[in-house]
Amino acid sequence: MELGSKVPKVDLSVQVGKLTLRTPIILASGCCGYGFELLRVNDFPWEDVGALVLKSITVKPRVGKPPPRVAEVTAGMLNAIGVQNEGIGAFMERIAPRLAELPCAVIASIIGTTKEEYAVLANALNGCSGIAAIEVNISSPNIERGGIEFGVDPKAAGEVTELVRRNWNGDVWVKLSPNAHDIALIAQSCSDAGADILVLTNTVPAMGLDVRSFPPKPLLGAVVGGLSGPAIKPIVLRKVYEAVRRLRQIGAKAQVVASGGIWRAQDIVEYLSVGATAVQVGTLLLHDVHAPRKLRTGLEEYALWVHKLMNDEKWLRISSYIGCALGACEP
């Protein structure tokens, strides 16, 4: 860079449903508590965060799974938390009134074991002005269908989406399960049922053993759990690609937000390139709470590089990258 020459400004803002986010970086559910925990972190880079998703809420309080609840593995992290939370009643009383203190958009996450529970939760949240959207976590056993996950059943996933749509006035985000046999079909079903945003995906079923004891012992108290972190990124990238292609083929207006294994700015670029509008960051935040800063500066550097390479102002806008690799990905 020549002395005195100005570095162009990169516009990181993206439009996700009705929300304009200052960056495409969203903090993932379960990895940032109720947001207030981050207010206590020295120099937390709020200006680099577009929004945050609260820990999933259930109708009744849940004590969660036995410890240990998290464990590190080679390329990621195992967890089996069991959706520990105090239930919607305590949430509305104690947490909801304080959400306006948070310096970014807040999305509530709900999870149920019957369709009716999702409706009850969505309806209750209408009374909460600090919430910009609801994220519907469908990685949950449907007890009315023998425990089959809502997220693997296109009909049940659509029905839950429709119920939340009817009971909630704002945008409906539906967070899909990676276990779906055909993720594009689930995305289509939720989109047809009125989802504004599809979030792909939750953690991938996994387990680990500690061989320092003999016989080896499970790493998690619940024995099995979910894998997150860099190990799952290529898996989720493919699912995002498949869902985006289907949504574009059918002309759906639902957008996709990616959640899985983001560790560096390049990962965000990959997700945007196959059509995600924004991304969620989970495990990385547990590893380095200031990571949004590093991700933002990495995105800016990438955009400056592409801008120079292509000699076109449009590449200074991060929203221009959404879907930019889809042509090259045509089979």
| Contacting residues toward ligand FMN, per CB under 6 A | 28-31, 55-56, 70, 77, 79, 81, 83, 109, 137, 175, 202-203, 228-229, 232, 259-262, 281-284
Judged by beta carbon, residue 158 or residue 229, the one nearer ligand FMN is 229
**Tokens, residue 47:** 């200006």
Judged by beta carbon, residue 60 or residue 248, the one nearer ligand FMN is 60
Shortest distance, position 285 Cβ to ligand FMN, whole Å? 8
The string over 256-273, giving b where at least 16 C-beta atoms fall within 10 Å of a residue's C-beta and e elsewhere, is bbbbbbbbbbebbbbbbb
- How far is 281 from 266, CA to CA, in rounded Å? 13
Indicate the residue whose CB is closest to ligand FMN.
30
The type of residue at 203 is T
Beta bridge partners of 198: 174, 256
Closest to 30 (Cα-Cα) out of 226, 168, 167: 226
Judged by beta carbon, residue 23 or residue 29, the one nearer ligand FMN is 29
Spacing of C-alpha 209 from chain mean position = 28
Shortest distance, position 325 Cβ to ligand FMN, whole Å? 21
Element of type H or E holding 227: strand 224-228
Judged by beta carbon, residue 10 or residue 200, the one nearer ligand FMN is 200
Shortest distance, position 199 Cβ to ligand FMN, whole Å? 8
**How would you classify residue 43: left for phi > 0, otherwise alpha for psi between -120 and 50, otherwise beta?**
left
Judged by beta carbon, residue 10 or residue 83, the one nearer ligand FMN is 83
Shortest distance, position 304 Cβ to ligand FMN, whole Å? 25
Judged by beta carbon, residue 29 or residue 188, the one nearer ligand FMN is 29
- How far is 167 from 136, CA to CA, in rounded Å? 12
